[in-house]
């Protein structure tokens, strides 16, 4: 270990480490803001149900083709709506994980975020 420093930190400079941590924190905040604003569209039943969720995991819109509305089979419609919503939410989660992995990999701080 370098005198007054930390092993693995170039030059053992604590101030440089703090600046890097602050920069990483800001990048993570910026990335989260960008991801929260994104929208993802899920479909189910061959397009009979379409929904859109945002990056905050909120349902933004829901469209149901009137041809699939059968008063005698509400369960089928419920399942189709859930499948569309889950499809959109999965897209959002997959994208969030991919983007945050890129961020942590690019900073050399893998696994921290």
pLDDT at 1: 46
Tokens of 58: 């909120």
pLDDT of residue 46: 95
- Using a pLDDT cut of 70, give the percent of the chain over it: 82
Residue 47's contacts (CB-CB under 8 Å, 6 or more residues apart) are: 65
Confidence band, pLDDT 50/70/90 cuts, at residue 42? very high
Whether domain 13-106 has CATH 3.40.640.10: the reply is: no
pTM (2 d.p.) = 0.72
In the predicted structure, residue 14 carries a pLDDT above the cut 70: yes
pLDDT at 13 over 90: no
Mean pLDDT over residues 71-77, rounded?
94
Residue boundaries of the structural domains of the chain? 13-106
């Amino acid at each position: 270990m370098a005198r007054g420093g930390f092993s693995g930190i170039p030059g053992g400079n604590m101030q440089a480490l703090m600046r890097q941590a602050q920069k990483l924190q800001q990048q993570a905040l910026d990335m989260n803001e960008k991801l929260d604003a994104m929208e993802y569209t899920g479909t189910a039943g061959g397009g009979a149900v379409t929904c859109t969720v945002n990056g905050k995991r909120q349902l933004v819109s829901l469209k149901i083709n009137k041809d699939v509305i059968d008063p005698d089979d509400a369960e089928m419609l419920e399942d189709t709506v859930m499948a569309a919503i889950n499809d959109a939410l999965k897209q959002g989660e997959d994208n969030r994980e991919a983007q945050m992995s890129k961020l942590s990999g690019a900073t050399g701080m893998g696994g921290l975020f």
